[in-house]
Amino acid sequence: MTEEIVVIPGDGIGAEVLPVAVDVLGAVGDFEFVRANAGDAVAAETGTPLPEETRAAAESADATLFGAAGETAADVVLPLRAAVDSFVNVRPARAYPGVEAVKPETDVVFLRENSEGVYGGHEATIADGVATTTRVITREATERLAEYACEFAPEGFTIAHKANVMRESDGLFLETVERVAEERGVPTEAELMDAMATHLVQSPEDYHTVVCPNLAGDVLSDLAAGLVGGLGLLPSANVGPERALFEPVHGSAPDIAGEGVANPTAAVLSAAMLLEFFDYDEEAQRARDAVEHVLAEGPRTPDVGGEATTEEMGAALADRL
């Protein structure tokens, strides 16, 4: 069967790194690519950052590969994640031989709640100078996340929370994840998310899988990117019950956009996660091996200590495949 993949390059370096990821998919698998677009440039052209046909394409395709959006990111990424009914954002962070890392021993996967928390869109300015955000945690969304975590890490995981202050919302989050894990015989450890930030920097080897509410997962995974050598290395999968959306963790990087020097690693590793989602495990491993080889031997882009362009690194990946 040929899976249909919607490809949404987006803005800035999103559009520069995505072709490399599509080439990798094309080299190892038999996919039908459907082009669509979204982001700042689309908004400037059409008046809306996420055209309905793009959203609908993501909603019906087997999977979607997305680059990055710029200022309109929240108007693009959140509805796209909702279009695939994503309940978990899987974000692995690990160091690679050949890439200077603050903590080379880092090898941790964040399972971030992906549909609610403070990113649920419940914001208001209730008076001049007074703005509010309503943080929503539901038992249903938390159970889906926890069930996924138990299958993902049957050996156990760490729960990041702040239930000592947000007693109701994170109280429900913590209690729900702990209950689901206990029912399945999966060991868990709970840790306050602020203390975890310190602990993660000092001893990343203490963590393998971290289950967290939405905002905490966003922040802690970017922190982990800093430990392993930068945002150019972190892929992600927004997983739903039937389909999924894959995207690098990074944004459109306006500081380097247009220079052709963005690191395609995060995008290619996102493509590898897509392959795994369809159980093409061997193909996913080939893609990862190629990335590891090129990061170790070069050519590398400037963010990871090299002088190569995105295209040169892409060509080396293609050669290796």
8-27: contacts with ligand NAI (CB under 6 A):
13, 17
Residues in the chain: 321
Establish if 69 lies at the interface with ligand NAI (CB under 6 A): yes
Is 129 in a helix, a strand, or coil?
coil
CB of 182 to Mg ion, least distance (A): 31
DSSP state of 117: B
Spatial contact of 204 and 103, defined as CB atoms under 8 Å apart: yes
Distance CA 11, CA 43 (A): 11
Is 245 in a helix, a strand, or coil?
strand
- Residue from 231, 239, 274, 308 touching ligand NAI (CB under 6 A): that is 231
CB of 310 to ligand NAI, least distance (A): 8
- Residue from 68, 146, 174, 313 touching ligand NAI (CB under 6 A): that is 68
Interface pattern 213-232 for Mg ion (x via CB under 5 A): -----x--------------
Specify the residue, 109 or 256, whose C-beta has the smaller distance to ligand NAI: 256
Establish if 11 lies at the interface with Mg ion (CB under 5 A): no
Residue 303 contact, options Mg ion, ligand NAI, none, Cβ 5-8 Å cut-off depending on partner type: ligand NAI
Specify the residue, 180 or 231, whose C-beta has the smaller distance to ligand NAI: 231
CB of 36 to ligand NAI, least distance (A): 15
Spatial contact of 54 and 35, defined as CB atoms under 8 Å apart: no
Interface pattern 186-225 for ligand NAI (x via CB under 6 A): ----------------------------------------
Backbone angles phi, psi at 132, to 5 degrees: -130, 155
Distances (CA, A) of 118 to 77, 113, 158: 15, 11, 21
Distances (CA, A) of 111 to 88, 149, 179, 188, 220: 6, 7, 17, 14, 11
Residues lying near Mg ion in the complex (CB under 5 A): 218
